[in-house]
Homo-oligomer: A and B are copies of this chain.
Amino acid sequence: MANQMPDKSSRRNDYLHFLSLQTRWNDLDSYGHLNNARYYAFLDSAIMDYLQVLGGFDLVHGPVLPFTIENGCRFFQSFTFPDTIEVGLRVTKIGRSSIRYEMGLFKQGHTEIRAAAYFVDVFVDATSQTPIQIPTALRKHLQHILWPQQPMAADD
């Protein structure tokens, strides 16, 4: 299976929702780098923030839950402690029950992308834990950050 990842040419305004998160001292590994596993905690949070806080969807006790089935990240330049990371988020594909997100990580106040990532989540029914069609309200919310943006897609 082949996956496209956003690359180094990706820019801040290619992302449509941002979450700012700080690094913690113990995010750094023996190399003094933000450990690769930690990036995924940042990425994960940007999705949940967009759905829960901006969208008002209850992703813990609600009827529909997102389960991650695949993700990946490319690391261009590390972060340190303390650093504020701005996680840019966009949706690049909305399927029947699955969705593909892409993320760009930026250091606050900087324009150069430091890491680029993607997540594929599938929405499941909370009871049966099997994939279900993405409910209309949720689909609408996801379309707000669809990229390339639909009306402007022509000249992309």
List the B residue with the shortest CB-CB distance to A20. Answer: B22
Chain B residues, CB < 8 A from A38: 26, 37
Contact A36 B31 (CB under 8 A): no
Please tell me how many copies of the chain the complex holds. 4
Flag whether A95 is at the interface (Cβ < 8 A).
Answer: no
Flag whether A152 is at the interface (Cβ < 8 A).
Answer: no
The 8 A-B residue pairs with the shortest CB-CB distance, nearest first, are A72-B72, A37-B40, A2-B2, A26-B35, A25-B48, A37-B41, A25-B45, A70-B74
A residues adjacent to B (C-beta < 8 A)? 1-5, 7, 19-22, 24-26, 28-33, 35-42, 44-45, 47-49, 52-53, 60, 65, 67-75, 81-82
